[in-house]
Structure 1
């Protein structure tokens, strides 16, 4: 028997196809929508702050089980529907936060447009749901992909169905801890949120630093030790090699007021572009590597659809019924209308003067390319999430490729009419069009991968696929309502990148939005021909070496991997971000070692206890992320109302000199508590 068939026959749903339990109920609609809003807000904050997103499946499942246990006759399928809806909000907000703020950063928008932002989410999210319907059978039912988050979520759901203990206390405790510390950092400002030591010897600038964000530490724990080390390797290249080397050769910026200021200026204006170059080559390499597998997946999907058509829907078990393919085709066609309206509106209100016929032609070409890219990105995302998990979804690489494809397409169409190098307003409009379309493609791709994880957990617990796919649309709608106001609130409270909505704001508190800044720089540089090709070339060389090292690790069957995009992200992100990511990864490593030792010492099978300990760690990490993010959003309201981030400031004089040391001490204590709680295998 083939491996493929073995994989297929091994799937035994927790709830059989002959059982018809309630799934898409009123309470799942309400709870799922509320959690989608919460997860969307939290993930928007996290991505704007550090450029990273995390899966919301497990925390959403835990919260759902805790709440629905208060009702009579709740069941595992309802809990699966709730986490499906909630995770859609997280996926869409995270994807959009990686690209849409680029419109603020290039100066095209002065605030987030509610109508356009909501429309982008509805169109991109809707297409992401529809385009993965034909891929479900190929990748989940008949394929061999693991979908690790989907499997883990299913196990949490099944464990919660058998036990009254679902782990909500771990989630809440970590959330409260992170919330209090975040308020002490950004509200009272009694605790520093970073520490830096930089000095200068002649022309050479060197030093170290790091941040104390518990949300980022939680994200580091979730992505794991090896991935966090790969990201921090990029930081070593940037801060401990790049800055000293550049300053020694080229000198220190004349206007630098301190060694720290000089280091940050060199990194922000030069070394960071090395990260852009690495991302460009790394993103293209990732797509090229995926092409053979993606081709097989699409061919398999076509074969699976033909089999369904021949057998008919009635012959298919409840647990294997998708949204009918005719609905997929019709729904996709309907989404084409508002998408073309957006493209036509943006073109006609731009500084690109090509006449009515030119607008129509350009709009139609962009419409076709947008649809093809949405499907392609949804397929790539689904495959990668199935292969290595949502944390390894190459959304950055696919967005870079999308920006490049769209930019050169526009230049090809408009090049005979417009000289972008002498018309900066036209170049700005063209870059904005590229960013808007990429935002839609990013939503489709991100939701595609998230959707497949949810459908995998649904397959294992016995959900009805078409009901999950339909309820995903609820998560899309909830996200469309909440994301734009959250983006605008965070922008007005903290600023994004180097753009401040009002005078007197502290740039150190701004949300760096690293992924959006990258997309803004890339799109703008292509049209204005202002790319720093020397630094881009160095970045590509770094990416090439990284790819070779990673291939060597694979050839030697090493447990170490150095994904090129992880290294590139590490070069591009500040130490305030990558340091807590490394801390989270180190905690994950110590936790795994402790669990393994406890298991060896017991000399007996402890699968249940081990699984529970790993779940504790995931919930604690998710709680840290949610707690900090929620407080970050809530205190943004008075910050905006009073036009100041010092509304709650309270720093006694005797503490002022020790804020950094206090931040370091508190972070160390929280990490120790996290380690002890996550390694408690006796807690079942």
Structure 2
């Protein structure tokens, strides 16, 4: 990444920019209708992303689907034609997405430790992290969004602005999301609700002991693969194949003659099947690979990190002493005194309120890493987008440093591990929210939104989603159990392993180091070590359907004659894929609610055949292809 990309833009260019709705014009914006719809979508997409993060350790952007849905509802049903209302709705929705990501990447570790949890703890963590993310981004808006408008593209924010500006097409686009939601929900309900067929298919390889390949026939994974594309999906599958048809058979071969258990497994290798070896050994190798892959991602971002801090401080100094003129509507942020007071109040609350017990050390760490990493995240997403922001690496770095400080000060044991995790969870949530609010403010800058109204809307979305995310996590744990093959919670499990390793010293470090060495080797191969490492950590059954979605995307790109056709087809497929993800995720949460309240859910699939679910999944992939390529000629 070239540091030149962070050079401040020319003020003359900045002054020439006129938003879609100019400052002189006022439209309905932070209305009751927009807020109510935004709250609903924030909760819905927060739940969907929480489910997805627990399944595969990935989340997807909600801004464009939210913009499309809001236009369909506000314009189609309520006959309201304010683009700024739609902007408020998508801003609040991305708050739910960010809260879901920040929570599921860290907090499920508490379930894995069997720590008593309650709603108050979850709400406290996500609200403090979410508010810090918004408050710390506010002073950066003038520098990153306004002064560097021509330099930092903020890809998701710019794309969402274009969707909002072409709002007359929102109704047709919303139909694609609605159809995808219905299809994904029905598939999930029939498979995992009524158990008419299996949703996990696997088979061994003849004369190849404990070598297994499989596929989870789930719509959400197909949709994720389509959205992330074949390259990322292929590297993730490569990690899965490395684990399941290389490492597991190797461990099985060399351990076949042993009669004693080798730590951390409790049974001899000769008695373990593929799943037993995965649970006893591969997960630790994968954890080491993910940890080092995340840190490598962070190290590769160091030029951007230092450039970000330098330019941020330069911009702050340049802004001092400037005369204050009448501020246009499109330049009004939340007043600085409220921002500074809010940050100080939150840090003091974290330090002294005995909800989390992180102490002054934890609060100081949150203040330092919060300011440092929020500045970095807000700038980096402006270049590479939210999906490529090294949030995991920054969270891992925070966790490792805080646990080392706690250990040095004698704060160890379970209390020390939980406190370190809480600090990491607050930072992770702040980073996720700051990245998303940066994209939203870019959208607002282009369409002519009022910044302070967007910032308030983001905080309302944080409160709405944060108030229910704990309920969702508890329901999911009761239904599927955190850490199980059905709900591996990969990134939270990694946080647990790292905290235990630093404070407890009871980890199989050889396995961790093997994973770390694999990640380093992958970097020399020119691969994305973090993506491959996630594939190693998760069962190959998860990576396979993601690759199927990647194949569909590849063939869309390959056989589209022009860039315009390819872009139109990709957009249609992305909307349908987003619907698949949302539909399965919401039905998954609904199934968890039914299980929680004791509703009878069949334990075994009525149809034992592996072929039927596989064929149904291929039909679903074919439907995704059909929806993508069979749009109206006017669409392409």
TM-score, normalising length from structure 1? 0.85
Q: Residue 646 of structure 1 corresponds to which residue in structure 2? A: 602
Match of 1:98 among 101, 105, 108: 105
Displacement of 1:332 in angstroms is 0.2
Aligned partners of 1:272, 1:214: CA distance in 2, in Å?
Answer: 25
Match of 1:159 among 162, 166, 179: 166
Aligned partners of 2:501, 2:599: CA distance in 1, in Å?
Answer: 33
Aligned partners of 2:438, 2:258: CA distance in 1, in Å?
Answer: 49
Tell whether the 8 Å contact from 1:279 to 1:569 is kept in structure 2 after alignment. yes
In the alignment, is residue 195 of structure 1 matched against residue 171 of structure 2?
Answer: no
Tell whether the 8 Å contact from 1:197 to 1:260 is kept in structure 2 after alignment. no
Match of 2:492 among 494, 497, 516: 516
Aligned partners of 2:435, 2:241: CA distance in 1, in Å?
Answer: 31
Q: Residue 558 of structure 1 corresponds to which residue in structure 2? A: none
3-state DSSP class of the match of 2:273?
Answer: helix
Match of 2:276 among 265, 279, 302: 265
Tell whether the 8 Å contact from 2:255 to 2:270 is kept in structure 1 after alignment. no
In the alignment, is residue 27 of structure 1 matched against residue 27 of structure 2?
Answer: no
Displacement of 1:11 in angstroms is 5.0
3-state DSSP class of the match of 2:201?
Answer: strand
In the alignment, is residue 277 of structure 1 matched against residue 288 of structure 2?
Answer: yes
Match of 1:55 among 54, 57, 61: 61
Q: Residue 287 of structure 1 corresponds to which residue in structure 2? A: 298
Tell whether the 8 Å contact from 2:522 to 2:528 is kept in structure 1 after alignment. yes
Q: Residue 627 of structure 1 corresponds to which residue in structure 2? A: 583
In the alignment, is residue 479 of structure 1 matched against residue 465 of structure 2?
Answer: yes
Q: Residue 262 of structure 2 corresponds to which residue in structure 1? A: none
Displacement of 1:138 in angstroms is 3.0
Instruction: Please list the CA deviations of residues 470-495 of structure 1 after superposition, one character each: whole Å capped at 9, or x if unmatched.
Output: 21000011012111111111211222
3-state DSSP class of the match of 1:191?
Answer: coil
3-state DSSP class of the match of 2:580?
Answer: helix
> Using a 3 Å threshold, how does the CA distance of structure 1 residues 332 and 672 change in structure 2: closer, same or farther?
same
Aligned partners of 2:257, 2:323: CA distance in 1, in Å?
Answer: 71
Match of 2:425 among 424, 439, 452: 439
Structure 2 matches for 1:383-462, cutoff 5 A? 383-414=379-410, 427-462=413-448
Match of 2:530 among 565, 570, 580: 565
Aligned partners of 1:516, 1:578: CA distance in 2, in Å?
Answer: 18
Structure 2 matches for 1:201-350, cutoff 5 A? 201=207, 204-251=209-256, 262-312=273-323, 314-342=325-353, 344-347=354-357
Tell whether the 8 Å contact from 1:198 to 1:260 is kept in structure 2 after alignment. no
Q: Residue 514 of structure 2 corresponds to which residue in structure 1? A: 538
Aligned partners of 1:170, 1:312: CA distance in 2, in Å?
Answer: 50
3-state DSSP class of the match of 2:525?
Answer: helix
Aligned partners of 1:187, 1:121: CA distance in 2, in Å?
Answer: 30
Q: Residue 495 of structure 1 corresponds to which residue in structure 2? A: 481
Displacement of 1:449 in angstroms is 0.8
> Using a 3 Å threshold, how does the CA distance of structure 1 residues 468 and 411 change in structure 2: closer, same or farther?
same
Displacement of 1:304 in angstroms is 3.1
Structure 2 matches for 1:57-206, cutoff 5 A? 57-69=63-75, 70-109=77-116, 112-143=117-148, 144-160=151-167, 162-163=168-169, 165-199=171-205, 201=207, 204-206=209-211
> Using a 3 Å threshold, how does the CA distance of structure 1 residues 261 and 630 change in structure 2: closer, same or farther?
farther
Match of 2:615 among 637, 646, 665: 665
Q: Residue 675 of structure 1 corresponds to which residue in structure 2? A: 625
Tell whether the 8 Å contact from 1:175 to 1:627 is kept in structure 2 after alignment. yes
In the alignment, is residue 18 of structure 1 matched against residue 24 of structure 2?
Answer: yes
Aligned partners of 2:180, 2:271: CA distance in 1, in Å?
Answer: 33
3-state DSSP class of the match of 1:589?
Answer: helix
3-state DSSP class of the match of 1:398?
Answer: helix
Displacement of 1:199 in angstroms is 4.9
Displacement of 1:645 in angstroms is 3.3
Instruction: Please list the CA deviations of residues 209-261 of structure 1 after superposition, one character each: whole Å capped at 9, or x if unmatched.
Output: 12111111111211122111121221122122211222222338879899996
Aligned partners of 1:260, 1:137: CA distance in 2, in Å?
Answer: 62
Match of 2:547 among 582, 586, 590: 582
3-state DSSP class of the match of 1:195?
Answer: strand
Aligned partners of 2:327, 2:135: CA distance in 1, in Å?
Answer: 20
Displacement of 1:20 in angstroms is 1.8
Aligned partners of 2:343, 2:275: CA distance in 1, in Å?
Answer: 46
3-state DSSP class of the match of 1:642?
Answer: coil
Aligned partners of 1:193, 1:259: CA distance in 2, in Å?
Answer: 29
In the alignment, is residue 593 of structure 1 matched against residue 558 of structure 2?
Answer: yes
3-state DSSP class of the match of 1:132?
Answer: helix
Tell whether the 8 Å contact from 2:304 to 2:380 is kept in structure 1 after alignment. no
> Using a 3 Å threshold, how does the CA distance of structure 1 residues 489 and 367 change in structure 2: closer, same or farther?
same
> Using a 3 Å threshold, how does the CA distance of structure 1 residues 309 and 183 change in structure 2: closer, same or farther?
same
> Using a 3 Å threshold, how does the CA distance of structure 1 residues 257 and 271 change in structure 2: closer, same or farther?
closer
3-state DSSP class of the match of 2:301?
Answer: helix
Aligned partners of 2:399, 2:605: CA distance in 1, in Å?
Answer: 45
Q: Which region of structure 1 is more displaced relative to structure 2, 326-335 or 661-670? A: 326-335
* Structure 2 residues not aligned, in runs of 5+: 260-265
Aligned partners of 2:112, 2:170: CA distance in 1, in Å?
Answer: 48
Displacement of 1:677 in angstroms is 1.0
3-state DSSP class of the match of 1:210?
Answer: strand
Give the aligned CA root-mean-square deviation in angstroms.
Answer: 2.6
> Using a 3 Å threshold, how does the CA distance of structure 1 residues 19 and 306 change in structure 2: closer, same or farther?
farther
3-state DSSP class of the match of 1:198?
Answer: strand
3-state DSSP class of the match of 1:208?
Answer: strand
> Using a 3 Å threshold, how does the CA distance of structure 1 residues 679 and 11 change in structure 2: closer, same or farther?
farther
Tell whether the 8 Å contact from 1:612 to 1:683 is kept in structure 2 after alignment. no
3-state DSSP class of the match of 2:321?
Answer: helix
Tell whether the 8 Å contact from 1:225 to 1:588 is kept in structure 2 after alignment. yes
Aligned partners of 1:632, 1:47: CA distance in 2, in Å?
Answer: 13
Match of 2:370 among 370, 374, 381: 374
